[in-house]
Amino acid sequence: MSLRSLALLALLASGALAQGTAPDATADFIRVTTFEPLPAPLAGLVDGLEASRLKAHIAFLSDPRREGRGLGTRGLEATVHYLQEQVQAAGLMPLGSTYLQPVPLREVRPGQGTVRLSLGKSSLAFRAGRDAVLPALAPGKLEGPCVYVGLGIQEPTLGHDDFRGLDVRGKVVIFRDGIPSGAAWRKAELLEKYLSSRPADRYDARLALLEKLGARAAIALEEGLDQRIRAGKEPALPYFLAAPGVPTSGEPPLARLALTPELRALLETAPEGKASLEIRGRVQTLQGQNVLARLEGSDPALRREAILLGAHMDHLGMPAGVLHPGADDNASGVAALLEILRNFAASPLRPKRTLLFAFWTGEEEGKFGSGHYTRQPRWPLATTGAYLNLDMIGHPWPAEALRSLVAEAGLKQPQAFLDGLAPTHFAEPGLSTSHRELGPILARAGRGTGMSLHLDWTDGKSGGSDYRDFARREVPFVRFFGDYFPDYHKPGDTLDQLDPEQVRRMARLVLATAWLLADR
């Protein structure tokens, strides 16, 4: 039976196509009130996941001796060694001739770079360490025409488009930090999207849009940036790049400048001109490592196809000397993957297709490990049936956020979905839009593990985790993620702030999904 037929039958069985109607957004909400037993081998595997083992892995990975698992640290080296020992002890074979896949990188220690804006008859200069934060680029110069686009936001549902009538292809796009006024812009998802406290997250949506529009570079203007720099709150930290010649992600590089009264007044009268960015710094080579393992499928023909599961092992390290343990991000996903592969390897019965397991390096700094793998895969991407990504699965959705999600979805009976539903038993997996056959598999896994779901369909090509490069190569993917929490990307992301039992619930869902995909 084809996957398309399988998907249709599963939708019919779940009622999504009842009475001949086409599926709509509300069909992506799957409320589980009773368990639907899983096949015997799978049921045993799911029940075999142990919260105590998960906790022990997270404790090791987030221990201060791991130094926040930053690139280039001894703590990350110890993590690689630990993961290799674990997969060997589980009895898995290496994927390729060795468990380790070298990932060539560069570390840049930034110098006193500059940004110059020529607007109208005036020219302004900004310097790193004074009133500018320069993009993470190799030392050199970037020049081009520039254009100011206000807030740089495009939200059609709110009738806002700062790019209407503008062609920004090949240009340096200048935009102002912030969002429009009005209650419609105070929704939690828009605040997170445009006003996150971390610039790398605050500008993600704008940069993804600018990539689609063909912009060459971006400059964000921030009030008070010069004061924060003087106060030591914006230190010029080392950053990492892929090896020379490796294609970049496509998102335009971002500089951040202090929005001074002089610059604000100049942009009002001369919104177009020329921009020049000069990057300075010292470069040294560095080698990261992915850890890759394989469990051969049981079917002589289908074992040539594979399902790949992955989680990034790195975190932020110790920026400015401050430890960032990364218990949820992403010791939780790594621990779950270790426990999943242990259970698969210990089972006398295996799914038909081969299972691949990957622990990626360099996700936080640029998804380096997964990007390198997609360029130099040790298993053909053409026969990789799906990629399952585990990232930050230790915190459930807050009850209020869940209520808002359901309310805004337009369900006919939203309270029926919420009644009796504990947020700990809800997940929102992201699935590749072009592979709708994944939906029934996730729905079945949810019903078999007691997890109610909202299927979040996305193209993933501008995604914030390691599924991104698989999406760009049209590999079907599923993103498993819990929820952001107040100490996301902060020193407070510690073991005591998450619940290993919640990690176990999510791991059960992932394991069931992997089996169902690999055994179909």
- Mean pLDDT value of segment 301-329: 97
Residue 138 has a pLDDT of 94
Residue 30 has a pLDDT of 96
Rg (CA), the chain: 24
Nearest residue to 192 via CA among 204, 176, 207: 204
- Cβ atoms 367, 477 nearer than 8 A: no
Residue of higher predicted confidence among 9 and 110:
110
The pLDDT confidence band at residue 27, using thresholds 50, 70 and 90, is confident
The arithmetic mean of pLDDT across residues 332-361, rounded, is: 97
Q: What is the pTM of this model?
A: 0.88
From CA 401, how far away is CA 101, in angstroms rounded?
Answer: 39
Q: Angle, to 10 degrees, between the axis of helix 51-62 and the axis of helix 333-346? A: 130
Distance CA 378, CA 356 (A): 10
Instruction: Please check the confidence at residue 423 and state whether its pLDDT lies above 50.
Output: yes
Beta bridge partners of 284: 107
Report CA-CA distances (Å) from 323 to 69, 71, 109, 143, 394.
10, 13, 19, 37, 19
* 3-state SS, one letter per residue, for 302-324: HHHCEEEEEEECCCCCCHHHCCC
Share above pLDDT 90 across residues of the chain, in percent, rounded to a whole number? 84
* Segment (H or E) for 100: strand 100-110
Residue 1 pLDDT > 50: no
pLDDT on residue 26:
76
Above 70 in pLDDT, residue 13? no
Class of domain 112-279: alpha beta
Q: Which of 510, 517, 482 is nearest to 498 (CA)?
A: 482
Give me the numbers of helices (H) and strands (E) for the chain, helices first please. Answer: 17, 23
139: tokens are 């030392």
Q: Residue 9: is its pLDDT beyond 50? A: no
In 363-475, the DSSP E strands lie at 384-390, 426-427, 430-432, 452-454, 456-458
Share of the chain above pLDDT 70, in %: 95
pLDDT at residue 52 greater than cutoff 70:
yes
- Higher pLDDT: 195 or 295? It is 295
Q: Which residues of 257-268 are buried (b: 16+ CB within 10 A; e: fewer)?
A: bbbbeebeebbe
Q: Domain-by-domain residue ranges, the chain?
A: 28-106+285-391+430-519, 112-279
What pLDDT does residue 25 have? 64
Mean pLDDT on 449-465 = 92
The 3-state DSSP class for residue 174 equals strand
pLDDT tens-digit readout, 247-269 = 776 789 999 999 999 999 999 99
In the predicted model, what is the mean pLDDT of the chain?
A: 92
Which fold does the domain 28-106+285-391+430-519 belong to in CATH? Aminopeptidase (3.40.630)
Residue 392 has pLDDT above 90, yes or no: yes
- Is 504 a residue whose pLDDT tops 60? yes
Q: Tell me which of 464 and 323 has the higher pLDDT.
A: 323
Q: What secondary structure does DSSP assign to 18-75, as a single string?
A: GGGPPP-GGGGEE--SS--PPPHHHHHHHHT--HHHHHHHHHHHHSGGGGGG-TT-HH
Q: What is the mean pLDDT of residues 329-353?
A: 97
Question: In the prediction, which pLDDT does 16 show?
Answer: 36
pLDDT in the model for residue 24? 53
